[in-house]
Structure 1
Amino acid sequence: MSTPVTGSAALDHAADLADFVAASPSSYHAAAEVARRLREAGFHELDEREAWPAQPGGRFLVVRDGAVLAWVVPSAADAATGVHVFGAHSDSPALKLKPRPTTGSLGWLQAGVEVYGGPLLNSWLDRELRLAGRLVLDDGTRVLAATGALLRLPQLAIHLDREVNDGLALDKQRQTQPVWGLGDADSADLLGELAAEAGVDASRIRGYDIVTADAARGAVFGKDDVFFASGRLDDLASVHAGVVAIERAAEGFDADRIAMLAVFDHEEVGSATRSGAAGPFLADVLERIQLSLGADREQQLRALADSWCVSSDVGHAVHPNYAEKHDPVVQPRLGSGPILKINANQRYATDGSGAAAWHGWCDAAGVGSQEFVSNNAVPCGSTIGPITATRLGIATVDVGIPILSMHSARELAGVSDLHDLSRVAEAFFTA
C-alpha cells in the first residue's frame, strides 16, 4: 500500500475548511456562512415569500432556518431540464440548551442541556465548548449568536472513581450539565451572555435554538500532514466540499443539467422537519425552479426522471484498534479517496446504477474511490439519501469521506480525502 501524499491544494482546502467550521458552530451559522460565501461568488439570494424570476443562466440560493439550497441554471435550460443535487447536512450531535438554562449548585454556574442526536458523550468531557445558534426576539427577528470558549463538562477525578477505566457511563441528566462560571444561578443569566455577544437586549428574547460546539479550531497534523481533526466534520466536510465545488462549477457553467447544492438540517435526529430532508424544502424549491422555466406537470416529472442526487455524508474508516468491528475485506482507509456507501437493506440509496455513475464522476475528476459496507453484525446508520430518493424518486447514490471518531466532539479525517470529495462534486455538477 502506497503512503498518501498531501499536496498543497489539499492543504489549502483543509485550511479553508477550518475557517468554514469555525464560522459554522451551529446549523444556522452554517447556512448563513454558505449563503455569505455564495453571495460573494455572484449568487442571488431569493425570498420564499416573494415571486421568483425566470432563471435560465442564473445563480440563486434560498435559506430556510438551518438549511440552504443553491443552484446554477444552464443558459439553455428548458422546462424539462434535470438537476444534479449534491446533498449534505448542517447539524451535528451536540448538547442543546433547555428552557430556563441557567442552573447550578454548590457555587457552580451550570447550563441546563439535553442531548441532541447521538454524540459520543465521553468525547465532550474536559474540553472547552462554545454556545451557538439563533435567538428569536419579541418582534420575530432572528439573530445569530455565538460565544467563544465558555463552558466545560468536567470529568470526575480517578481518585473518586477508581473503576472509571473499566467503563464510563454518563447519566444523561445528572452528569452532562456543563459549568460556565462561579456564583449563584439566581443572579446569573446564560442567555444574557449570548445576547451580549449578539448585541441585543436579553429581555427581548422570546425563543432560542442553541447548541454546544467544540471551541478548538480544526488542525492538520501527523506525518506528512495527512490528518485533519475538527468538530462537526459530520457533515460540514461535505457541506464545505459542495460549496467549493459549486463556486467553481458556476464559472463558465455550460452543463446540461441544473447544478444544485442542498444542505439540510436535523439529519442527526431523523430529518422530519421543515428544514430537514424529509420535509418539503427541496421539493418546493425544485417545483418553483421548474415553474420559472415554464414547466407543466408532465415536464416536471420528466425533469425529475433525468436527475441525480449525490447524498454525501461521512462513513467509517477502518479503525486500527477495533478491526473486528469492520467488514474483513472492505476496509476504507484515510487518504485513499472518497467512499461509495453500500447497504443491502437500502439504509444507503446506492445501487448498481448509482455505483457506475459515481465511478464515472470520480474518473472525470481524476480521483480514486473506495467502498464502504458494514460488518454484518454491526448495523449501519442511514443518511438523507434514501429519504430524498423516496420523497422525489430521483436516482440517488450515497457517498462521503472515511473518518474516525464519528459523532465525537472532534472527528478525524484524511486531508487528501476532503479535497478529493470536492473535486468529484465539481465533476458531478458539470457532467
Structure 2
Amino acid sequence: YITDLLPHLAAAENAKPVGTAFSAEKLNILVGSRPLPEEDKDAVKANVLAYLREKYGMTEADFQSAELCIVPAGRARDVGFDRSMICGYGHDDRCCAYPSLTAMLDADESVHTTMCILADKEEIGSEGVSGMQCSLIVDLLAEFAHALGGNAAAVRAASKCLSSDVAATYDPNFDDVYEKRNAALINCGVAMCKFTGARGKSGTSDASAELVGWVRRCLNGAGVVWQTCELGKIDVGGGGTIAKFMANHNIDTIDLGVPVLSMHAPYEVIAKTDLYEAYRAFVAFYHFA
C-alpha cells in the first residue's frame, strides 16, 4: 500500500500541476507496522525480516540481488450489470500475452515454424537482455537457420510477426483526444493498428499494405471479429510498441491486440468478447503464418 495525502492538508499539493504533483521519492510502500518483541533497534524492520525469512527463506542481504514487483493486490472482477467487461491491473499487456501463448499451444500444426516471444521492459523502451531490443531473436533465428542449412537473412525476410499489444479504446468521457472515425471501440473485436508513433508516424513501424492485406485475409478466413484503429488524434500525443524493433530486423510486423480502457491506470478495463477475438486471431495467425 502506498499512502496518500488527505485533502484537508493538501492545499500546497492541489496547487501543483498534475505532472509535478506526484513525487517518485514519495512512493514508499507500507510493508509492516508491528515491532518485534524485545528488539531494541529497528524493531518493525526486524519483524518484517523475520516474516520474510520464515515465509520465503529471505535475508536482508538477499535484497541486494532480488527483483521485486509491487502490484495492485485486488483480484480481477467483472464490470457492468451485464458482466461484459473485466477490470484488473496490467491488462497492458497481460491480456495480449496470455492469449498469444495459449493460442500457440491450441493451434493446429502449421507448415511453418511458429514462435511466441514474451518480452520485458516494453514500457521503458524494450531495453536490456530481456527487452526486444536485445539480439536474442536474431541469434535464435540464426541458430535455427544454420542447423537447417538455411540463410538467417532469408528466414527473417520470409517471416511475419504480430506485435500483440493493446490498443487505446474510445472513451466518451475524453472525447476530445480521439479521432472517432479511426478509434478502437469496445466490443468490436481485436484491434489492428497499422502504425503508432507520435505527431503522425514519428518513432513507429508502419506495416506494409501487403502485410495488412495478408492479415485481413487471415482474420476474415477464420471468421475473426476485428477492427482497425489509430492511437488518438495526431497532435494530442503518441506512443509505440515493439513492432519497430522487429521490423528493424526485416521482419514484416503489425500491431494486433485487445482494446483497453484506462490504459496504464492501476486497474484497466477490457471487454470479454474482444479478449476472445484476440485469442481467435492469434490461433488463425499461427495456423496460416
Same-fold status (TM-score > 0.5)? yes
Give the aligned partner of residue 13 of structure 1: none
Give the aligned partner of residue 142 of structure 1: none
Alpha-carbon distance between aligned partners in 2 of 1:313 and 1:242, rounded to the nearest angstrom: 10
2:212 is matched by which residue type in structure 1?
Answer: A
1:329 is matched by which residue type in structure 2?
Answer: R
1:292 is matched by which residue type in structure 2?
Answer: A
Structure 1 stretches lacking a partner, 5+ long: 1-151
Q: Please say if 1:376 is aligned against 2:231.
A: no
TM-score by length of 2: 0.85
Alignment of 1:342-357 (within 5 A): 342-343=194-195, 344-345=200-201, 347-357=204-214
Alpha-carbon distance between aligned partners in 1 of 2:152 and 2:4, rounded to the nearest angstrom: 55
Alpha-carbon distance between aligned partners in 2 of 1:351 and 1:377, rounded to the nearest angstrom: 23
Name the structure where helix makes up a greater proportion of residues.
2
Q: Please say if 1:284 is aligned against 2:125.
A: no
CA shift at 1:322, angstroms? 0.4
CA shift at 1:425, angstroms? 0.5
Give the aligned partner of residue 274 of structure 1: 129
SS in 1 for 2:32: strand
- Cα distance change on mapping 1:293 and 1:191 into 2, 3 Å: farther
- Cα distance change on mapping 1:237 and 1:193 into 2, 3 Å: farther
- Cα distance change on mapping 1:156 and 1:203 into 2, 3 Å: closer
Alpha-carbon distance between aligned partners in 1 of 2:53 and 2:222, rounded to the nearest angstrom: 46
Q: Please say if 1:395 is aligned against 2:246.
A: no
Give the aligned partner of residue 219 of structure 1: 77
Contact 1:337 1:370 in 2 (8 A): yes
Q: Please say if 1:186 is aligned against 2:35.
A: no
Structure 2 stretches lacking a partner, 5+ long: 36-40
Alignment of 1:44-83 (within 5 A): none
TM-score by length of 1: 0.59
Q: Please say if 1:154 is aligned against 2:3.
A: yes
Q: Please say if 1:265 is aligned against 2:117.
A: no
Per-residue CA deviation, residues 159-202 of structure 1 (Å, 9 max, x unaligned), is 222587787521221x3112222257833156665554433455
Give the aligned partner of residue 365 of structure 1: 222
Per-residue CA deviation, residues 322-349 of structure 1 (Å, 9 max, x unaligned), is 0101113212111111111133526244
Contact 2:99 2:279 in 1 (8 A): yes
Contact 2:205 2:247 in 1 (8 A): no
CA shift at 1:154, angstroms? 2.0
Give the aligned partner of residue 129 of structure 1: none
Count of aligned positions: 272
SS in 1 for 2:172: coil
Contact 1:242 1:422 in 2 (8 A): yes
Contact 1:349 1:398 in 2 (8 A): no
1:231 is matched by which residue type in structure 2?
Answer: Y
2:75 is matched by which residue type in structure 1?
Answer: R
2:42 is matched by which residue type in structure 1?
Answer: D
Q: Please say if 1:414 is aligned against 2:263.
A: no
Identity %: 24
Aligned-residue Cα RMSD (Å) equals 2.3
Alpha-carbon distance between aligned partners in 2 of 1:230 and 1:364, rounded to the nearest angstrom: 32
